[in-house]
Amino acid sequence: MNSSNLQRSAPSPLGEASTQRSISVRLGLFGGSFNPIHNCHLTIAHHVHERMQLSQVLFIPTGDPPHKRNGSLAPANARHEMVRLAIADSPLFTVSDIEIQRQGKSYSIDTIRALQHHYGPSTELFFIIGLDAFLDFPTWREPHELLAICRFVIVLRPERSFQALADMPLLSKLYPSDLA
pTM for this predicted structure: 0.82
Structure confidence at residue 19 (pLDDT): 43
Taking only the tens place, the pLDDT of each residue in 17-38 is 444 445 589 999 999 999 999 9
Question: What is the Rg, in whole angstroms, of the alpha carbon atoms belonging to the chain?
Answer: 16
- Among the residue ranges 17-21, 36-40, 49-53, 94-98, the one predicted with the least confidence is 17-21
- List beta partners, residue 56: 27
Taking only the tens place, the pLDDT of each residue in 127-155 is 999 999 999 999 999 999 999 999 999 99
Structure confidence at residue 13 (pLDDT): 42
Domain residues of the chain, as ranges?
A: 3-179
Residue 166's pLDDT band (cuts 50, 70, 90): confident
Coil, helix or strand for 160? coil
Q: Higher-confidence residue: 13 or 67?
A: 67
Amino acid identity of 120?
A: G
- pLDDT of 123 above 70: yes
Closest C-alpha to 53, from 176, 165, 151: 151
Question: Distance (Å, rounded) from C-alpha 36 to C-alpha 130?
Answer: 16
Is residue 58 a contact partner of residue 17, using CB atoms and an 8 Å limit? Answer: yes
- pLDDT of 16 above 80: no
Question: Distance (Å, rounded) from C-alpha 123 to C-alpha 92?
Answer: 16
CATH of domain 3-179: 3.40.50.620
Question: Distance (Å, rounded) from C-alpha 17 to C-alpha 72?
Answer: 27
Structure confidence at residue 178 (pLDDT): 53
Query: In the predicted model, what is the mean pLDDT of residues 162-180?
Result: 69
Structure confidence at residue 4 (pLDDT): 30
Structure confidence at residue 21 (pLDDT): 45
